[in-house]
Every structure is written in C-alpha cells, then in structure tokens.
Structure 1
Amino acid sequence: MTLTMSANGLSDEVKRFVVQQLAMFETPSEVARAVKDEFAIEVSRQAVEAYDPGKRAGASLSQEFRELFAATRETFIADTASIGVTHKVVRLRTLARLIEKAEGRGNAVLVASLLEQVAKECGDAFTNKRQVEATGKDGAPLMDGGITVTFVRPAPIPDAG
C-alpha cells in the first residue's frame, strides 16, 4: 500500500532522507521515486523541492535541515575519492577489459571507439587542465611589442589627358 502525503505530513525520518538525497545532487523526481521505494509514501516533486535550501520552494526550510543539507553536501563532495571511476587508472583498466571483450567478438568499430576513449583519458581530455601553445607564422616565436599595422597609400592615378 502506498500513502500519498504532503511535505508537511512527512515524518522527520523521511524529511531527513529527502534533504540528504537532494544534498547528494539527486533530482526532485528521483528523490520522490526513492521515497516511494524506501518508505511506500508518494510525495510530489514540488513537495520534495521544499527541502532544498537552494530553491525558492525551500526558502522557509528550518535551520536544522539547512545544516543537514550543508553537512551532507560537503561530505558527499569530499567523498568522491571513494568512488572508483573517479580515478583514471580504474577507468583505463575498465576500458582495457572492454577492448579485450570487443576484440574477442570481432567488433572493430567498438574497439576503435574505446581506443579513442583511452587516448582521451591519457591526454587529460577529461580534466579542466588546458595546454595552450601560441606561435607566430609557420611556428616561429611570437614577437614582442604587440601588433604592427602598416598603412600603404595607393599610388596616384596618372592623368590620361
């Protein structure tokens, strides 16, 4: 049996669950589904938004739940190190296994795609690092002094007369 409740009628346990899920970047729709699965209570997406202090609907959220949201969000962000796929070596190892499987099945298109993914991983394509090289014409070093503009006056047109 599933109960339908407004945000005000939720128990503190459910409210804490909602706040923590939102703090972990779950969408209101996902949280509403999780509440239904976990507690057999149907809550609308709009009711869930009332527990997000970053949303207009959550403007009147109690200090207790604001602090819970902030603490959960901080812990969640700091804890990404425990998630395996956040580490480059784990992603490369997984890609290597997938390449072996794809090769074994003769799927050359998938192998090529996965190899491209490996090249991107190795080339730091998925970081916020940027390598910028600036050179002058034909690879020559840039000149000091900025841009030089030369004005060429056209030659006068001779009189035909």
Structure 2
Amino acid sequence: MARLKKAEKIFIVRSLAQFMPISDVVRDIKEKFNVDVSPQQVEYYDPTKAASADLAQEFIDLFNEARKEYIEQPLHNIEGANDIVQLKILSDLLVSKKGNVVMAIKLIDQMQKIVKGHYEKKIEITGKDGGPLQTTTIQATQEQVNEAVRKAQEEY
C-alpha cells in the first residue's frame, strides 16, 4: 500500500465527491502523481463507504463540501452541456468514423438536432391567462360524434 501525501489524499477525496468511479481515480492518481494505489485504498477516502469508518473528520468535511459544490454548480460549467463542445466532439467523431456510413449519418443527425435547437423546444399548453385547461362534458349521439369527426378531418 502506497503512502500518500496530503495533496494526493485531497485529490482522491475531491474526485470521489464528484462521483468519479474508483477505477478512474486509481488511474488518475497514477497519471498525475505517479503513485500506485489499490482500489481498496481509494475506497477508504469515500465517507459513503463502510471502509472509511475511521476516516479523519477533515476529509469527511472536504468530501461533503466538494460534493455540495459539485451538485450545485451551474449547468453551463459542465463541458458536455455546452452546444459548442458537443458539436466539436461530434465533429471529431464524424471525422474518425467517415468510413462507417451508418455511424456518420447518426452523428450528422445528432449535430443537426443540436444546431436546430431540437432539445430546447418546450411547449406548454395552458388555458386562458395561463390557467388550467377547461374541460366540458357533453352528451352526444353516435351520429353527432361521427359528424364532428368528419368536419374536423375536412378542416385538417
């Protein structure tokens, strides 16, 4: 088991607070700090796990604060939530998947949906002055219903 410095411990705690999988934290610690840690060692720094029963209060507080910040951050701070970033990623994928016609068509379709605002259109149906829709129940014969349907189809 590797002996971790405080900076490495803080990195682990903050990563776990941001819902990063343990395997990704293990990989990132190796890449950023050149330290080999086991998944069990990383799990120790997650106060939501039983393995962290004797974790220092300092790290528990850091975890809770980091998780709160992460959850409350504005949506525009998340890279993938930005249309330009999404289009750039899709564009890069399109270039790499040019030989795969089916995948290219799907990527182009996805890009068009983003560009045309397909995901932003919201329709809200309300009654008069924003109130609830009014419903009326009437008694009608089958003949009257058929006539109303016929008229509606002609108008459409």
Q: TM-score, normalised by structure 2?
A: 0.57
Find the counterpart in structure 1 of residue 20 from structure 2: 26
Find the counterpart in structure 1 of residue 9 from structure 2: 15
After superposition, the Cα gap between the structure-2 partners of 1:80 and 1:57, relative to the gap in structure 1 and judged at 3 Å, is farther
Tell me how far 1:52 sits from its aligned partner.
0.4
Find the counterpart in structure 2 of residue 69 from structure 1: 63
Identity in percent: 35
Structure 1 distance, partners of 2:104, 2:37, is: 45
Find the counterpart in structure 2 of residue 83 from structure 1: 78
Alignment partner of 1:47 out of 22, 41, 52: 41
- Residue 99 of structure 2 is aligned to residue 116 of structure 1: no
Tell me how far 1:10 sits from its aligned partner.
2.4
Segments of 5+ residues of structure 1 without an aligned counterpart are 132-142, 146-161
Instruction: List structure 1 runs of 4+ shifted beyond 3 angstroms.
Output: 92-99, 105-111, 118-123
CA RMSD of aligned residues (A): 3.6
Any idea what the Cα deviations from partners look like across 1:100-131, whole Å, max 9, x if unmatched? x69xx68753442124324655443xx9x998
After superposition, the Cα gap between the structure-2 partners of 1:115 and 1:54, relative to the gap in structure 1 and judged at 3 Å, is same
After superposition, the Cα gap between the structure-2 partners of 1:53 and 1:37, relative to the gap in structure 1 and judged at 3 Å, is same
After superposition, the Cα gap between the structure-2 partners of 1:117 and 1:22, relative to the gap in structure 1 and judged at 3 Å, is same
Structure 1 distance, partners of 2:9, 2:17, is: 12
Q: Which has the higher helix share?
A: 2
| Larger Rg over CA atoms | 1
Structure 2 distance, partners of 1:52, 1:10, is: 15
Q: TM-score, normalised by structure 1?
A: 0.56
**Count of residue pairs the alignment pairs up:** 125
